[in-house]
Amino acid sequence: MFLIQGSALDLRQGWTRRDCLKVGFGGALGLLGTGFPLLQPVRAGNAEGNRTFGQAQSCIFIYLFGGPSHIDIWDLKPNAPAEIRGEFRPRATNVPGVSITEHLPRLAQHADKYAIVRSLTHGDPAHGSAGHAMMTGRRMRQGDLPPSPDDCPHYGAVLARLRPAPHAVTPFVSLPQVVATSTNVVPGQNAGFLGRALDPLRLERPANDSLLFAAPLPSVSSEGAHRRLGQRVQLLQQLEAQGRLGRDPCASEMSKLYQQAFQCLDSPKTAAAFCLDREPAKLRERYGWNVFGQSLLLARRLAEAGVRMIMVCWPERTEPEAYLVNGVRDRAPVPLWDMHGWNVGNTAIFPTLKEKALPPLDVAVSALLEDLTVRGLLNQTLVVVTGEFGRAPRVDPKLRGRDHYGHVFSGMLAGGGIRGGQVYGASDQHGAFPALHPVVPEDFAATLYHCLGVAPDAEIVDRLGRPQKVTAEGKPIRGLLG
């Protein structure tokens, strides 16, 4: 089963959800009654009139860490020289005139449901800062930098602040692992300057082959347990009212975590949302019997349960060669999409894409689109597929890989107000720079926020009390909206 991971208790660094459970729920687990105050939403600004504003109730954000090659997946260049076009050929989709790689046959039959953005750009080749840009819509100093409390918040944290989901398990979930390079955790995955209370509920990949998830908190439905927990809530409220818990920021964060955990316990959907064994075996098989596929199936269940943001990160490679660099075991696995060539983890780009990366992506994402459509959920669920950047146009003939490349890359959007069956923007003939409608992270973020009901002029407040616009002057891309 999947486990929740937290850090050691250190009030100087704020509180994790695990800390809250350790401190606040000894002997008090159960279902909560009524009578505790919920966090109030912050006004989310004024949106321009558009029927797609706020159409998405949830977002499944699929993050392909490492830098998927746009020129080999979404934006093939069959007429370019061999050292640029690579070994793959385009495949026609069910939308006339739109093609993708030949190795995504199932997704090719669902092109009418999604939009391909072929002109994403920021020019940043560093995993850390580029990842921060694509997960927050805000730039930071370039480099593979560690996260800090002053980072900009992930989309999910902003939604938790501006559009809380009062009856959901939790507003923001991330699985199946933290995204990290061999040196640092990638910034932008947490709440940053909004505080630890808005960090995601993070689920870790299973340590066994069951591929089952555990509910974040146990549920005790007995009347006695219900009453005891209600009494503890009242005691907490009295202590807060008398100032007995202090007025420092850590105490404030602790109070918010209490409220969220109580709310999680009160939700009747809490345990059920994580029970993948309630899904038909045939459907679980359709998503793929692997961590990524089952993570997407869980993401669909969490969206049904009202979770605003579910971020699914591509799992680390587990095959033995992923841990080798020049025949020597490395201290960390090479991310699967970071395909430099034979000198780094044996990641020759074409066989790795063909045999290990594209098949599970094709199976799981197509299953998600089918499943959401059949259940009538696609119109209210925004699906995002992106990495932090693309890969260089020119293939190294000896290494058979492509380097980091941020000048142009591609992403995919579906559902939740996005008009499917289209390609937005274009790269030049060699896939090196935007040639039409460049899309910067700020506009990408504004488009996501628009679909999720957060206006471009919405404001959040940083740790110093300064108001910050959520999109840093970004504007929704009207051509993508249905």
Q: Residue 460 domain-assigned?
A: yes
8 A C-beta contact, residue 186 and residue 65: yes
Radius of gyration (C-alpha) of the chain in whole angstroms? 22
> What is the rounded CA–CA span in Å between residue 278 and residue 262?
25
Q: What is the pLDDT of residue 336?
A: 77
Q: Residue 454 domain-assigned?
A: yes
Q: Residue 152 domain-assigned?
A: yes
Q: What is the pLDDT of residue 207?
A: 60
Q: How many independent structural domains does the chain possess?
A: 1
Of 124, 57, 133, nearest to 472 (Cα)?
A: 133
Of 351, 188, 129, nearest to 336 (Cα)?
A: 351
Distance of CA 437 to the CA centre of its chain: 25
* Residues 233-240: contacts with CB under 8 Å, at least 24 apart: 233/32, 233/33, 233/35, 233/36, 233/262, 234/35, 236/24, 237/36, 237/37
Contacts of 151 (CB under 8 A, 6+ apart): 132, 136, 140, 187, 188, 190, 192, 193
Q: What is the pLDDT of residue 398?
A: 81
Beta strands in 66-190 (DSSP E): 90-92, 99-101, 114-120, 172-175
Q: Residue 293 domain-assigned?
A: yes
Question: pLDDT tens digits, residue range 33-77?
Answer: 333 333 333 344 455 547 899 999 999 999 999 999 999 999 999
- Residues of the chain under the 70 pLDDT cut: 1-49, 205-210, 213-271, 317-335, 343-346
Report the SS3 class of residue 216: coil
Q: What is the pLDDT of residue 463?
A: 85
Q: Residue 336 domain-assigned?
A: yes
Question: pLDDT tens digits, residue range 118-161?
Answer: 999 999 999 999 999 999 999 998 998 899 999 999 999 999 99
Q: Which amino acid is residue 18, in one-letter code?
A: R
Residue 186 falls in which region: left (phi positive, over 0), alpha (psi -120 to 50) or beta: beta
Of 59, 189, 127, nearest to 388 (Cα)?
A: 127
The domain of 160 spans 54-215+273-480
Q: Residue 220 domain-assigned?
A: no
> What is the rounded CA–CA span in Å between residue 306 and residue 377?
11
Distance of CA 396 to the CA centre of its chain: 31
Q: Residue 475 domain-assigned?
A: yes
pTM: predicted TM-score of the whole model, two decimal places = 0.82
Q: What is the pLDDT of residue 230?
A: 62
Report the SS3 class of residue 83: helix
8 A C-beta contact, residue 82 and residue 331: no
> What is the rounded CA–CA span in Å between residue 55 and residue 452?
6
Query: Alpha helices of 109-248 — where are they, by DSSP H?
Result: 127-136, 155-162, 223-241
DSSP state of 113: G
> What is the rounded CA–CA span in Å between residue 265 and residue 38?
13
Tokens representing 250 are: 């850590």
Q: What is the pLDDT of residue 311?
A: 98
Element (H, E) at 341: none
Q: Residue 223 domain-assigned?
A: no
Query: Alpha helices of 63-216 — where are they, by DSSP H?
Result: 70-73, 82-85, 105-108, 127-136, 155-162
Element (H, E) at 384: strand 381-386
Element (H, E) at 304: helix 291-304
Q: What is the pLDDT of residue 163?
A: 94
Q: What is the domain-level CATH number for residue 96?
A: 3.40.720.10
Length of the chain: 482
> What is the rounded CA–CA span in Å between residue 288 and residue 364?
6
